[in-house]
Amino acid sequence: MSETLLGAALARRNTGRPPVWFMRQAGRYHKHYQALRARHEFIALCKQPELATEVTMGPIDDFGFDAAILFSDLLFPLEAMGMGLRYEPGPKLDWYLRSSADLPRLRGGCAAANDMEFQAEAIRMLRPRLGRERALIGFVGGPFTLYAYAVAGSHEGFTRQGLLGLDDGLYAGFCERLSELLAGNMVLQAKAGADCVAVFDTAAGSLDAAQFARHAVAPLAAVVARFRAACPDTPLIYYSRDTGPAHWRALEPLPIQCLGVDWRHDLADTLRRETPRWCLQGNLDPEWLHLPAADLEARVRGVFSKVLTLPAAARAAWVCGLGHGVLQHTPEDNVRLVLKIQREMFS
């Protein structure tokens, strides 16, 4: 891992060009993905290791990102817990948590993580194809985000329901069954060859800072402790959209190396303030990639110019990327343009 740009940035000691990768860099905007999706169901692209490998490699071969992220879905732990999972085309569980009476239906424990062996096999296939210069990222969903999907099928629906079950034992019971399974899923990916593991907690921004500490960070800490016992040296990335410094303070005791931030934060200011504690990942606005090329270039150069004024120590702890994932219908040429500008300005 230390031989890659990403590995050096996660250790906050990169002296080369900042690494760049995008969340959802393999996805619906990309012709390579579209061609595979025309022939295969989404779940096959995730669960057949050969197909998952091909989808993952698409943006590496096409755009030359510095890291690949396993093509998969964060809801597979819920399927392993016995909730079923299908895509119509969006994800649908066979049933949803409604009360504590549903908890006995949930399967837990580390052994259930073996249901995600297809992820490990894809990682083993990817590792030699990426070579020594590119990193491989595994990922899972955060406990709070997985709970939101288990209750409502999406974090938007969960928020509309008023954060159902957080204080009446339903959430605690869910996390008790999830914790060992989710940590086992992370270990499975790391031991198969993932250089680091990202935890995407996209629903956590629906919580205020106090709620975030209690409902997002506390169960996450239990998962991370289990993971660290098995993989003490594997770096962790944590991303939660719609959160800020008041939320992030609760994460400081956790052994997490990298904090992903969304586009609502000024990148240079955030790097200056946060990199003494974290590597920082982000945070161009994904919507910018829908702009005409000249407008996109002007905005990207403006952000990067401010970063170039920072001390070297701050830039040494930066992973360049988007503040969230690549959006559907993003022009591929705009992805290429951002990477071209980044390489030109930071080489």
Residue burial 160-190, b: 16+ Cβ < 10 Å; e: rest? eeebbbbeeebbbbbbebbbbbbbbbbbbbb
Kindly tell me the number of DSSP H helices and DSSP E strands found in the chain: 16, 9
Q: Quote the CA–CA distance of 132 and 152 in Å, as a whole number.
A: 41
The pLDDT of residue 153: 77
Question: Which pairs with CB-CB distance under 8 Å and at least 24 residues apart come from 233-236?
Answer: 234/190, 234/194, 234/195, 234/196, 234/197, 235/1, 235/7, 235/10, 235/11, 235/195, 235/196, 235/197, 236/196, 236/197, 236/198, 236/199
Query: Two tokens at 290?
Result: 């829908």
Contact 284, 300 (CB under 8 A): yes
CA-CA distance, 259 to 275, in Å (whole number)?
9
CA 266 to chain centre: 20
Residue 178's pLDDT is what?
98
Q: Which domain holds residue 179?
A: 5-346
Cα angle at 138 between 135 and 144, to 5 degrees? 140
Whole-angstrom CA distances from 9 to 1, 2, 149, 198 are 10, 9, 32, 15
Task: Please check whether residue 18 is in contact with residue 315, taking contact to mean a CB–CB distance below 8 angstroms.
Answer: yes
**Is residue 138 classed as helix, strand or coil in its secondary structure?**
strand
Rounded CA gap, 49 and 123, in Å? 8
pLDDT at 89: 83
Dihedral angle over CA of 36, 112, 68, 30, nearest 10:
30
Task: State both tokens at 34.
Answer: 């579209």
Q: Per-residue pLDDT for the chain (347 aa), expressed as one digit of tens each?
A: 558 999 999 999 999 999 999 999 999 999 999 999 999 999 999 999 999 999 999 999 999 999 999 999 999 999 999 999 999 888 999 999 999 999 999 999 999 999 999 999 999 999 999 999 999 999 999 999 999 999 987 666 666 565 667 778 899 999 999 999 999 999 999 999 999 999 999 999 999 999 999 999 999 999 999 999 999 999 999 999 999 999 999 999 999 999 999 999 999 999 999 999 999 999 999 999 999 999 999 999 999 999 999 999 999 999 999 999 999 999 999 999 999 999 999 98
What element of type H or E holds 52? helix 49-63
CATH of the domain at 157: 3.20.20.210
pTM: 0.96
Work out how many domains the chain is built from and give that number: 1
DSSP 82: I
